[in-house]
Structure 1
Amino acid sequence: MPSRIGIIAGRGDFPLKVANYLKSSGEEIFVLPIKNSAKKELSDFPHKWIRLGQIGLGIKTLRRNHCKDIVIIGGVDVPNLWFLWPDFGSLKLYLRLIALKIKGDAAIIKEVINFLEKDYDFKVIGAENFLQEAVMPKGFMSGVNLNEYHIKDIRLAKINCKEIGLKDMGQACVVSEGSLIMSEDLKGTDAMLQKIIKNKKKFKKKGVLVKLMKPQQDIRVDMPTIGLKTLLQVKEIGLAGIALEAGKALVSDKEDVIEFAKKNNIFIYGFEKDEFI
Protein backbone atom coordinates (compact mmCIF):
# COMPACT_ATOMS: atom_id res chain seq x y z
CA MET A 1 0.00 0.00 0.00
CA PRO A 2 1.36 3.50 -0.84
CA SER A 3 2.37 5.75 2.04
CA ARG A 4 -0.14 8.19 3.46
CA ILE A 5 0.13 11.55 5.19
CA GLY A 6 -1.30 11.43 8.70
CA ILE A 7 -3.21 14.39 10.12
CA ILE A 8 -3.59 14.79 13.88
CA ALA A 9 -6.56 17.15 13.97
CA GLY A 10 -7.69 19.53 16.71
CA ARG A 11 -10.33 22.25 16.65
CA GLY A 12 -10.94 24.90 14.02
CA ASP A 13 -11.22 24.97 10.23
CA PHE A 14 -7.56 24.39 9.38
CA PRO A 15 -7.51 20.58 9.84
CA LEU A 16 -10.37 20.25 7.34
CA LYS A 17 -8.66 22.65 4.92
CA VAL A 18 -5.41 20.68 5.11
CA ALA A 19 -7.29 17.41 4.51
CA ASN A 20 -9.16 18.84 1.52
CA TYR A 21 -5.97 20.35 0.06
CA LEU A 22 -4.06 17.08 0.31
CA LYS A 23 -6.95 15.08 -1.13
CA SER A 24 -7.32 17.49 -4.06
CA SER A 25 -3.56 17.21 -4.64
CA GLY A 26 -3.88 13.46 -5.04
CA GLU A 27 -2.31 12.56 -1.69
CA GLU A 28 -3.49 9.61 0.36
CA ILE A 29 -4.31 10.70 3.92
CA PHE A 30 -5.43 9.29 7.24
CA VAL A 31 -6.91 11.51 9.95
CA LEU A 32 -6.78 11.20 13.73
CA PRO A 33 -9.43 13.67 14.92
CA ILE A 34 -9.24 14.53 18.64
CA LYS A 35 -12.53 13.91 20.45
CA ASN A 36 -14.31 17.03 21.77
CA SER A 37 -12.07 19.24 19.62
CA ALA A 38 -12.05 18.31 15.92
CA LYS A 39 -14.90 18.90 13.48
CA LYS A 40 -17.20 15.98 12.70
CA GLU A 41 -16.72 16.59 8.94
CA LEU A 42 -13.30 14.95 9.26
CA SER A 43 -15.16 11.64 9.48
CA ASP A 44 -15.62 11.93 5.70
CA PHE A 45 -11.95 10.94 5.31
CA PRO A 46 -10.26 7.69 6.36
CA HIS A 47 -10.01 8.24 10.10
CA LYS A 48 -10.06 7.05 13.68
CA TRP A 49 -11.27 9.28 16.52
CA ILE A 50 -9.02 9.33 19.60
CA ARG A 51 -9.08 11.19 22.88
CA LEU A 52 -6.18 13.45 23.83
CA GLY A 53 -4.41 10.87 25.99
CA GLN A 54 -4.46 8.08 23.40
CA ILE A 55 -1.17 8.86 21.67
CA GLY A 56 -0.21 5.19 21.83
CA LEU A 57 -3.35 4.15 19.97
CA GLY A 58 -2.79 6.99 17.52
CA ILE A 59 0.76 5.84 16.76
CA LYS A 60 -0.36 2.25 16.18
CA THR A 61 -3.16 3.47 13.91
CA LEU A 62 -0.87 5.72 11.87
CA ARG A 63 1.65 2.91 11.41
CA ARG A 64 -1.05 0.43 10.46
CA ASN A 65 -2.24 2.89 7.82
CA HIS A 66 1.27 3.40 6.39
CA CYS A 67 1.70 7.00 7.54
CA LYS A 68 5.27 8.28 7.67
CA ASP A 69 4.74 12.04 7.45
CA ILE A 70 2.44 13.73 9.96
CA VAL A 71 0.72 17.12 10.11
CA ILE A 72 -0.37 18.34 13.55
CA ILE A 73 -2.95 21.11 13.18
CA GLY A 74 -5.72 22.65 15.27
CA GLY A 75 -5.98 23.61 18.91
CA VAL A 76 -6.81 21.39 21.85
CA ASP A 77 -7.46 22.20 25.47
CA VAL A 78 -4.56 20.58 27.30
CA PRO A 79 -5.71 19.52 30.77
CA ASN A 80 -3.56 19.24 33.86
CA LEU A 81 -1.17 16.38 33.09
CA TRP A 82 -2.40 14.49 36.16
CA PHE A 83 -5.86 14.23 34.55
CA LEU A 84 -4.76 13.28 31.02
CA TRP A 85 -5.39 9.53 31.50
CA PRO A 86 -2.71 8.33 29.05
CA ASP A 87 -3.00 4.96 27.36
CA PHE A 88 -0.12 2.49 27.69
CA GLY A 89 1.61 3.73 24.53
CA SER A 90 1.55 7.31 25.83
CA LEU A 91 3.01 6.45 29.22
CA LYS A 92 6.64 7.08 28.26
CA LEU A 93 5.82 10.56 26.95
CA TYR A 94 3.53 11.27 29.91
CA LEU A 95 6.22 10.38 32.46
CA ARG A 96 8.76 12.45 30.53
CA LEU A 97 6.51 15.50 30.69
CA ILE A 98 5.89 14.99 34.40
CA ALA A 99 9.61 14.58 35.10
CA LEU A 100 10.45 17.78 33.22
CA LYS A 101 7.62 19.65 34.98
CA ILE A 102 6.50 20.98 31.62
CA LYS A 103 3.52 23.32 31.71
CA GLY A 104 3.68 25.61 28.66
CA ASP A 105 2.30 24.72 25.23
CA ALA A 106 5.58 25.23 23.34
CA ALA A 107 7.50 22.91 25.65
CA ILE A 108 4.78 20.25 25.49
CA ILE A 109 4.60 20.45 21.69
CA LYS A 110 8.39 20.26 21.38
CA GLU A 111 8.47 17.13 23.53
CA VAL A 112 5.60 15.54 21.56
CA ILE A 113 7.44 16.20 18.27
CA ASN A 114 10.65 14.69 19.67
CA PHE A 115 8.66 11.68 20.87
CA LEU A 116 7.11 11.11 17.44
CA GLU A 117 10.27 11.73 15.41
CA LYS A 118 13.03 10.25 17.58
CA ASP A 119 11.17 7.42 19.26
CA TYR A 120 8.92 6.36 16.36
CA ASP A 121 10.66 7.72 13.24
CA PHE A 122 7.75 9.83 12.00
CA LYS A 123 8.42 13.14 10.23
CA VAL A 124 6.32 16.13 11.36
CA ILE A 125 5.50 18.55 8.53
CA GLY A 126 4.35 22.13 9.07
CA ALA A 127 0.71 22.71 8.15
CA GLU A 128 1.62 26.06 6.59
CA ASN A 129 2.98 24.10 3.62
CA PHE A 130 -0.63 23.26 2.75
CA LEU A 131 -2.20 26.55 3.90
CA GLN A 132 -0.21 29.12 1.94
CA GLU A 133 -3.31 31.21 1.27
CA ALA A 134 -3.77 31.56 5.05
CA VAL A 135 -0.17 32.58 5.88
CA MET A 136 0.12 36.23 6.96
CA PRO A 137 1.80 38.26 4.18
CA LYS A 138 4.17 41.18 4.62
CA GLY A 139 2.48 44.57 4.83
CA PHE A 140 -1.19 45.50 5.05
CA MET A 141 -3.97 42.97 4.74
CA SER A 142 -6.30 45.78 5.77
CA GLY A 143 -5.50 49.47 6.24
CA VAL A 144 -2.98 51.69 4.49
CA ASN A 145 -0.70 53.26 7.09
CA LEU A 146 0.52 53.15 10.68
CA ASN A 147 0.86 56.34 12.70
CA GLU A 148 3.64 56.95 15.22
CA TYR A 149 1.45 55.74 18.11
CA HIS A 150 0.67 52.46 16.37
CA ILE A 151 4.38 51.90 15.72
CA LYS A 152 5.31 52.60 19.35
CA ASP A 153 2.58 50.26 20.58
CA ILE A 154 3.64 47.47 18.21
CA ARG A 155 7.28 47.88 19.28
CA LEU A 156 6.37 47.59 22.99
CA ALA A 157 4.01 44.68 22.31
CA LYS A 158 6.73 42.76 20.44
CA ILE A 159 9.08 43.15 23.41
CA ASN A 160 6.41 41.95 25.82
CA CYS A 161 5.38 39.02 23.61
CA LYS A 162 9.00 37.83 23.50
CA GLU A 163 9.19 38.03 27.29
CA ILE A 164 6.03 36.03 27.94
CA GLY A 165 6.99 33.68 25.11
CA LEU A 166 10.32 32.86 26.74
CA LYS A 167 8.36 31.94 29.87
CA ASP A 168 6.09 29.77 27.66
CA MET A 169 3.05 31.63 28.94
CA GLY A 170 1.51 33.01 25.74
CA GLN A 171 1.88 34.51 22.27
CA ALA A 172 -0.14 37.72 22.45
CA CYS A 173 -0.71 40.99 24.25
CA VAL A 174 -2.63 44.25 23.93
CA VAL A 175 -0.84 47.61 24.17
CA SER A 176 -2.43 51.06 23.95
CA GLU A 177 -0.78 54.49 24.05
CA GLY A 178 2.49 53.06 25.30
CA SER A 179 0.95 51.01 28.12
CA LEU A 180 0.64 47.25 28.38
CA ILE A 181 -3.05 46.49 28.87
CA MET A 182 -2.93 42.70 29.19
CA SER A 183 -0.81 39.69 28.24
CA GLU A 184 -2.00 36.29 27.14
CA ASP A 185 -1.64 33.42 29.61
CA LEU A 186 -2.07 29.67 29.19
CA LYS A 187 -5.82 30.15 28.59
CA GLY A 188 -5.16 31.76 25.19
CA THR A 189 -5.90 34.89 23.18
CA ASP A 190 -9.70 34.66 23.26
CA ALA A 191 -9.68 34.46 27.06
CA MET A 192 -7.38 37.50 27.27
CA LEU A 193 -9.61 39.56 24.97
CA GLN A 194 -12.71 38.49 26.89
CA LYS A 195 -11.13 39.74 30.12
CA ILE A 196 -10.56 43.13 28.51
CA ILE A 197 -14.16 43.18 27.26
CA LYS A 198 -15.45 42.40 30.76
CA ASN A 199 -13.44 45.34 32.10
CA LYS A 200 -15.68 47.50 29.87
CA LYS A 201 -12.85 49.76 28.77
CA LYS A 202 -13.13 51.09 25.23
CA PHE A 203 -10.00 52.21 23.40
CA LYS A 204 -11.66 54.35 20.72
CA LYS A 205 -9.47 53.24 17.81
CA LYS A 206 -6.27 53.25 19.83
CA GLY A 207 -4.07 50.33 20.74
CA VAL A 208 -3.06 47.08 19.05
CA LEU A 209 -3.26 43.34 19.46
CA VAL A 210 0.06 41.68 18.62
CA LYS A 211 0.62 37.93 18.30
CA LEU A 212 4.14 36.56 18.00
CA MET A 213 5.65 33.09 17.94
CA LYS A 214 7.47 32.13 21.12
CA PRO A 215 11.27 32.28 20.61
CA GLN A 216 11.64 28.57 21.44
CA GLN A 217 8.54 27.47 19.51
CA ASP A 218 8.66 24.93 16.68
CA ILE A 219 7.16 26.67 13.64
CA ARG A 220 5.70 23.40 12.36
CA VAL A 221 2.99 23.34 15.04
CA ASP A 222 0.78 25.96 16.74
CA MET A 223 1.58 29.06 14.70
CA PRO A 224 -0.13 32.22 16.01
CA THR A 225 -3.60 32.45 14.48
CA ILE A 226 -6.38 35.00 14.15
CA GLY A 227 -9.86 34.62 12.70
CA LEU A 228 -13.19 36.38 12.45
CA LYS A 229 -13.84 35.82 16.16
CA THR A 230 -10.62 37.71 16.92
CA LEU A 231 -11.78 40.64 14.78
CA LEU A 232 -15.17 40.73 16.50
CA GLN A 233 -13.45 40.99 19.88
CA VAL A 234 -11.01 43.64 18.64
CA LYS A 235 -13.93 45.70 17.36
CA GLU A 236 -15.80 45.39 20.66
CA ILE A 237 -12.71 46.53 22.58
CA GLY A 238 -12.15 49.39 20.14
CA LEU A 239 -8.55 48.64 19.16
CA ALA A 240 -7.04 50.26 16.08
CA GLY A 241 -5.65 47.04 14.68
CA ILE A 242 -3.73 43.78 14.76
CA ALA A 243 -0.07 43.12 13.96
CA LEU A 244 1.43 39.69 13.21
CA GLU A 245 4.83 38.52 12.02
CA ALA A 246 4.76 37.97 8.26
CA GLY A 247 5.20 34.34 7.27
CA LYS A 248 4.83 33.12 10.86
CA ALA A 249 1.11 33.49 11.54
CA LEU A 250 -2.10 32.14 10.04
CA VAL A 251 -5.35 33.94 9.23
CA SER A 252 -8.47 31.78 9.33
CA ASP A 253 -11.59 32.83 7.39
CA LYS A 254 -9.28 35.14 5.45
CA GLU A 255 -11.81 36.69 3.06
CA ASP A 256 -14.33 37.33 5.84
CA VAL A 257 -11.58 38.73 8.08
CA ILE A 258 -10.40 41.19 5.41
CA GLU A 259 -13.95 42.29 4.58
CA PHE A 260 -14.82 42.82 8.25
CA ALA A 261 -11.56 44.66 8.99
CA LYS A 262 -11.98 47.06 6.08
CA LYS A 263 -15.63 47.70 6.90
CA ASN A 264 -14.77 48.53 10.51
CA ASN A 265 -11.53 50.43 9.82
CA ILE A 266 -9.31 47.90 11.63
CA PHE A 267 -5.78 47.52 10.28
CA ILE A 268 -4.11 44.12 9.97
CA TYR A 269 -0.38 44.42 9.41
CA GLY A 270 2.32 41.83 8.76
CA PHE A 271 5.67 42.99 10.12
CA GLU A 272 9.10 41.58 9.38
CA LYS A 273 11.16 39.98 12.14
CA ASP A 274 13.48 42.97 12.66
CA GLU A 275 10.89 45.67 12.02
CA PHE A 276 10.02 48.10 14.84
CA ILE A 277 13.06 47.31 17.01
Structure 2
Amino acid sequence: MTLALIAGQGALPQAVVSEIGDRHWKAFHLKGFEPDDKTSEPFRVEHLGSFIAGLTAQGITDVCFAGAIGRPKLDPTAIDAATLPLVPRMMQALQAGDDAALRLVLSLFEEAGLNVVAAQDVAPSLLRVPTVGAPSDRDYADIERAKMVHAALSNMDVGQGCVVARGQVLAIEAMPGTQWMLASLTHFDAKPDGGVFFKAAKAGQDRRIDMATIGPETVDQAAAVGLNGITVVQDAVLVLQPDVVRTRLEKTGLFLTALPA
Protein backbone atom coordinates (compact mmCIF):
# COMPACT_ATOMS: atom_id res chain seq x y z
CA MET A 1 0.00 0.00 0.00
CA THR A 2 1.18 3.52 -0.81
CA LEU A 3 0.34 6.47 1.42
CA ALA A 4 -0.24 10.06 0.29
CA LEU A 5 0.50 12.53 3.07
CA ILE A 6 -1.46 15.76 2.57
CA ALA A 7 0.82 18.02 4.59
CA GLY A 8 -0.38 21.24 6.15
CA GLN A 9 1.42 23.78 8.28
CA GLY A 10 2.92 23.26 11.72
CA ALA A 11 4.87 20.40 13.27
CA LEU A 12 2.34 17.61 12.78
CA PRO A 13 3.40 16.51 9.25
CA GLN A 14 6.99 15.95 10.35
CA ALA A 15 5.79 14.04 13.42
CA VAL A 16 3.85 11.71 11.14
CA VAL A 17 6.79 11.32 8.75
CA SER A 18 9.07 10.33 11.63
CA GLU A 19 6.93 7.22 12.26
CA ILE A 20 6.04 6.17 8.71
CA GLY A 21 9.10 3.95 8.64
CA ASP A 22 9.68 1.83 5.54
CA ARG A 23 6.20 2.28 4.13
CA HIS A 24 6.12 3.78 0.63
CA TRP A 25 4.73 7.31 0.76
CA LYS A 26 4.61 10.64 -1.05
CA ALA A 27 3.87 14.10 0.35
CA PHE A 28 1.64 16.77 -1.18
CA HIS A 29 0.36 20.16 -0.04
CA LEU A 30 -2.39 22.57 -1.00
CA LYS A 31 -0.97 25.63 -2.73
CA GLY A 32 -1.04 28.61 -0.41
CA PHE A 33 -0.59 26.46 2.69
CA GLU A 34 2.97 25.25 2.25
CA PRO A 35 4.28 23.09 5.11
CA ASP A 36 7.41 23.98 7.05
CA ASP A 37 9.21 21.15 5.23
CA LYS A 38 9.05 22.14 1.55
CA THR A 39 9.73 18.67 0.10
CA SER A 40 6.07 18.03 -0.78
CA GLU A 41 4.42 18.49 -4.18
CA PRO A 42 1.84 21.29 -4.54
CA PHE A 43 -1.69 21.00 -5.90
CA ARG A 44 -4.43 23.58 -6.42
CA VAL A 45 -7.94 23.37 -5.05
CA GLU A 46 -9.15 24.26 -8.56
CA HIS A 47 -7.52 21.02 -9.75
CA LEU A 48 -8.80 18.81 -6.93
CA GLY A 49 -10.56 16.39 -9.27
CA SER A 50 -7.41 15.90 -11.33
CA PHE A 51 -5.30 15.62 -8.19
CA ILE A 52 -7.45 12.84 -6.73
CA ALA A 53 -7.47 11.00 -10.06
CA GLY A 54 -3.70 11.34 -10.21
CA LEU A 55 -3.30 9.75 -6.79
CA THR A 56 -5.18 6.65 -7.82
CA ALA A 57 -3.26 6.52 -11.12
CA GLN A 58 0.00 6.46 -9.11
CA GLY A 59 -1.20 3.43 -7.17
CA ILE A 60 -1.84 5.34 -3.96
CA THR A 61 -4.33 3.56 -1.72
CA ASP A 62 -4.29 5.54 1.55
CA VAL A 63 -4.42 9.25 2.32
CA CYS A 64 -3.43 10.93 5.59
CA PHE A 65 -4.16 14.61 6.32
CA ALA A 66 -1.74 16.20 8.79
CA GLY A 67 -1.25 19.86 9.64
CA ALA A 68 -3.20 23.09 9.50
CA ILE A 69 -4.93 24.11 6.27
CA GLY A 70 -7.13 27.19 6.00
CA ARG A 71 -10.08 27.70 3.69
CA PRO A 72 -8.67 28.32 0.21
CA LYS A 73 -10.03 30.91 -2.19
CA LEU A 74 -11.48 29.36 -5.32
CA ASP A 75 -10.52 30.96 -8.65
CA PRO A 76 -13.34 30.06 -11.06
CA THR A 77 -11.13 30.76 -14.08
CA ALA A 78 -8.59 28.11 -13.01
CA ILE A 79 -11.00 25.18 -12.52
CA ASP A 80 -10.11 22.24 -14.74
CA ALA A 81 -12.50 19.81 -16.43
CA ALA A 82 -12.09 17.04 -13.86
CA THR A 83 -12.89 19.41 -11.00
CA LEU A 84 -15.85 21.19 -12.62
CA PRO A 85 -18.43 18.54 -11.58
CA LEU A 86 -17.28 18.89 -7.97
CA VAL A 87 -17.69 22.68 -7.79
CA PRO A 88 -21.25 22.79 -6.38
CA ARG A 89 -20.24 20.50 -3.50
CA MET A 90 -16.96 22.37 -2.99
CA MET A 91 -18.79 25.69 -2.75
CA GLN A 92 -21.21 24.18 -0.27
CA ALA A 93 -18.28 22.94 1.80
CA LEU A 94 -16.55 26.31 1.79
CA GLN A 95 -19.71 27.91 3.19
CA ALA A 96 -20.31 25.24 5.85
CA GLY A 97 -18.86 24.84 9.32
CA ASP A 98 -15.41 23.33 9.76
CA ASP A 99 -16.59 19.79 10.42
CA ALA A 100 -19.09 19.78 7.57
CA ALA A 101 -16.46 21.08 5.17
CA LEU A 102 -13.94 18.46 6.27
CA ARG A 103 -16.43 15.64 5.97
CA LEU A 104 -17.16 16.63 2.38
CA VAL A 105 -13.45 16.74 1.54
CA LEU A 106 -13.03 13.25 2.97
CA SER A 107 -15.98 11.97 0.95
CA LEU A 108 -14.43 13.18 -2.30
CA PHE A 109 -11.31 11.12 -1.66
CA GLU A 110 -13.29 8.09 -0.49
CA GLU A 111 -15.55 8.16 -3.54
CA ALA A 112 -12.42 7.75 -5.64
CA GLY A 113 -11.60 4.55 -3.73
CA LEU A 114 -8.98 6.07 -1.42
CA ASN A 115 -8.81 5.09 2.24
CA VAL A 116 -8.46 8.07 4.60
CA VAL A 117 -6.35 7.18 7.64
CA ALA A 118 -5.80 9.24 10.77
CA ALA A 119 -2.45 10.78 11.70
CA GLN A 120 -2.58 8.87 15.01
CA ASP A 121 -2.98 5.61 13.13
CA VAL A 122 0.23 6.28 11.21
CA ALA A 123 2.01 7.72 14.26
CA PRO A 124 0.48 6.16 17.42
CA SER A 125 2.91 7.96 19.73
CA LEU A 126 1.00 11.18 19.06
CA LEU A 127 -1.64 9.97 21.53
CA ARG A 128 0.87 9.69 24.39
CA VAL A 129 0.09 12.38 26.97
CA PRO A 130 3.06 13.15 29.27
CA THR A 131 1.05 13.87 32.42
CA VAL A 132 2.86 16.05 34.93
CA GLY A 133 1.75 17.47 38.29
CA ALA A 134 -1.74 17.54 39.74
CA PRO A 135 -4.51 20.15 39.71
CA SER A 136 -5.64 21.78 42.94
CA ASP A 137 -9.26 21.65 44.11
CA ARG A 138 -9.76 25.06 42.49
CA ASP A 139 -8.29 23.76 39.24
CA TYR A 140 -10.57 20.70 39.30
CA ALA A 141 -13.56 23.03 39.61
CA ASP A 142 -12.33 25.00 36.60
CA ILE A 143 -11.81 21.76 34.65
CA GLU A 144 -15.41 20.73 35.33
CA ARG A 145 -16.63 24.14 34.24
CA ALA A 146 -14.50 23.95 31.07
CA LYS A 147 -15.91 20.49 30.26
CA MET A 148 -19.42 21.90 30.44
CA VAL A 149 -18.54 24.84 28.20
CA HIS A 150 -16.81 22.60 25.68
CA ALA A 151 -19.77 20.19 25.58
CA ALA A 152 -22.22 23.04 25.04
CA LEU A 153 -20.20 24.55 22.19
CA SER A 154 -18.97 21.42 20.43
CA ASN A 155 -22.40 20.60 19.02
CA MET A 156 -22.32 24.05 17.38
CA ASP A 157 -19.01 23.27 15.58
CA VAL A 158 -17.23 26.19 17.26
CA GLY A 159 -13.89 24.99 18.56
CA GLN A 160 -11.87 22.42 20.45
CA GLY A 161 -10.74 24.33 23.52
CA CYS A 162 -11.49 26.96 26.13
CA VAL A 163 -9.89 28.67 29.13
CA VAL A 164 -11.58 28.92 32.53
CA ALA A 165 -10.20 30.65 35.62
CA ARG A 166 -12.03 30.69 38.97
CA GLY A 167 -15.23 29.68 37.24
CA GLN A 168 -15.05 32.46 34.65
CA VAL A 169 -14.83 31.61 30.94
CA LEU A 170 -11.95 33.74 29.66
CA ALA A 171 -11.58 32.49 26.09
CA ILE A 172 -13.07 30.07 23.58
CA GLU A 173 -11.12 28.60 20.69
CA ALA A 174 -12.62 29.40 17.29
CA MET A 175 -11.30 29.54 13.72
CA PRO A 176 -8.05 31.46 14.51
CA GLY A 177 -6.90 28.53 16.66
CA THR A 178 -5.22 27.82 19.98
CA GLN A 179 -2.28 30.21 19.68
CA TRP A 180 -4.54 33.16 18.89
CA MET A 181 -6.88 32.26 21.74
CA LEU A 182 -4.12 32.02 24.33
CA ALA A 183 -2.49 35.22 23.03
CA SER A 184 -5.81 37.04 23.49
CA LEU A 185 -5.51 36.52 27.25
CA THR A 186 -2.67 39.05 27.35
CA HIS A 187 -5.26 41.78 26.74
CA PHE A 188 -6.99 41.24 30.09
CA ASP A 189 -6.50 44.16 32.46
CA ALA A 190 -7.42 42.07 35.50
CA LYS A 191 -7.44 38.35 34.70
CA PRO A 192 -8.40 36.04 37.58
CA ASP A 193 -5.42 34.21 39.07
CA GLY A 194 -4.58 30.82 37.60
CA GLY A 195 -6.88 29.04 35.21
CA VAL A 196 -6.99 25.95 33.06
CA PHE A 197 -6.75 25.40 29.31
CA PHE A 198 -9.07 22.55 28.32
CA LYS A 199 -8.85 20.84 24.94
CA ALA A 200 -10.74 17.93 23.39
CA ALA A 201 -12.39 16.78 20.18
CA LYS A 202 -15.76 18.23 19.24
CA ALA A 203 -18.88 16.10 19.47
CA GLY A 204 -19.21 13.81 16.46
CA GLN A 205 -15.87 14.96 15.04
CA ASP A 206 -14.25 12.72 12.44
CA ARG A 207 -10.93 12.05 14.13
CA ARG A 208 -9.20 11.12 10.91
CA ILE A 209 -8.72 14.83 10.22
CA ASP A 210 -8.34 18.07 12.18
CA MET A 211 -7.61 16.41 15.52
CA ALA A 212 -7.04 18.74 18.45
CA THR A 213 -3.29 19.22 19.02
CA ILE A 214 -0.99 20.60 21.69
CA GLY A 215 2.79 20.93 21.78
CA PRO A 216 5.69 22.71 23.52
CA GLU A 217 4.48 26.11 22.33
CA THR A 218 1.11 25.47 23.96
CA VAL A 219 2.82 24.98 27.32
CA ASP A 220 4.92 28.11 26.87
CA GLN A 221 1.89 30.22 25.96
CA ALA A 222 -0.20 28.86 28.82
CA ALA A 223 2.60 29.65 31.26
CA ALA A 224 3.14 33.12 29.79
CA VAL A 225 -0.47 34.13 30.48
CA GLY A 226 -0.41 32.76 34.02
CA LEU A 227 -2.48 29.59 33.70
CA ASN A 228 -2.01 26.77 36.19
CA GLY A 229 -2.23 23.91 33.74
CA ILE A 230 -3.65 22.08 30.76
CA THR A 231 -6.24 19.33 30.63
CA VAL A 232 -6.97 17.14 27.61
CA VAL A 233 -9.16 14.15 26.92
CA GLN A 234 -7.21 10.94 26.29
CA ASP A 235 -7.21 9.75 22.66
CA ALA A 236 -8.93 12.97 21.59
CA VAL A 237 -5.83 15.21 21.45
CA LEU A 238 -2.50 14.76 19.66
CA VAL A 239 0.67 15.72 21.54
CA LEU A 240 3.60 16.97 19.48
CA GLN A 241 7.09 16.33 20.88
CA PRO A 242 5.84 14.76 24.12
CA ASP A 243 9.30 14.60 25.70
CA VAL A 244 9.80 18.32 25.09
CA VAL A 245 6.31 19.00 26.42
CA ARG A 246 7.20 17.19 29.64
CA THR A 247 10.41 19.22 30.00
CA ARG A 248 8.55 22.50 29.45
CA LEU A 249 5.87 21.51 31.98
CA GLU A 250 8.48 20.72 34.62
CA LYS A 251 10.30 23.98 33.89
CA THR A 252 7.20 26.18 34.04
CA GLY A 253 5.46 24.34 36.86
CA LEU A 254 2.26 23.76 34.89
CA PHE A 255 0.32 20.53 35.24
CA LEU A 256 -0.94 18.42 32.37
CA THR A 257 -3.76 15.96 33.03
CA ALA A 258 -5.60 13.55 30.73
CA LEU A 259 -9.26 12.75 31.37
CA PRO A 260 -10.58 9.36 30.30
CA ALA A 261 -12.21 9.30 26.87
TM-score by length of 2: 0.90
Instruction: Please say if residues 12 and 38 of structure 1, whose CA atoms lie closer than 8 Å, have aligned partners that are also in contact.
Output: no
Partner of 2:106: 113
Structure 2 CA distance for partners of 1:41 and 1:99, relative to 1, 3 Å: closer
Paired position in structure 2 for 1:71: 64
Q: Match for residue 240 of structure 1?
A: 228
Residue matched to 2:74: 84
Deviations 1:81-103 (A, max 9, x none): xx323633444444125347743
Q: Which residue of 2 aligns with 1:147?
A: 136
Q: Offset of 1:202 from its aligned partner?
A: 4.8
- Paired letter, 2:63: I
Measured in 2, the distance between the counterparts of 1:130 and 1:203 equals 41
| TM-score, with structure 1 as normaliser | 0.85
Give the match for residue 123 of structure 2.
Answer: 131
Equivalent in the alignment of 2:242: 254
Q: How many residues align?
A: 258
Q: Match for residue 171 of structure 1?
A: 160
Residue 78 and residue 200 in structure 1: after superposition, are their counterparts in 2 closer, same or farther (change >3 A)? farther
- Identical amino acids, percent of aligned pairs: 26
Report the counterpart of residue 25 of structure 2 in structure 1: 29
Distance 1:90 1:214 in 2: 30
Aligned to 2:54: 61
Paired with 1:4 and 1:184, the residues of 2 have a C-alpha distance of 35
User: What is the alpha-carbon distance in structure 2 between the residues aligned to residue 169 and residue 124 of structure 1?
Assistant: 24
Aligned in 2, Cα 1:85/1:199: closer, same or farther, shift over 3 Å? farther
Say which SS state the counterpart of residue 41 (structure 1) adopts. coil
Q: Matched residue of 1:109: which SS?
A: helix
User: Contact 1:136–1:248 (CA<8 Å) still a contact in 2?
Assistant: no
- AA aligned to 1:167 is M
Aligned position for 2:178: 189
Q: Contact 1:164–1:170 at 8 Å: present in 2 too?
A: yes
Q: CA separation of 1:214/1:235 partners in 2, compared to 1, >3 Å: closer, same or farther? A: same
- Could you list the runs of 5+ residues in structure 1 that have no partner in the other structure? none
The one-letter code matched in structure 2 to 1:215 is: A
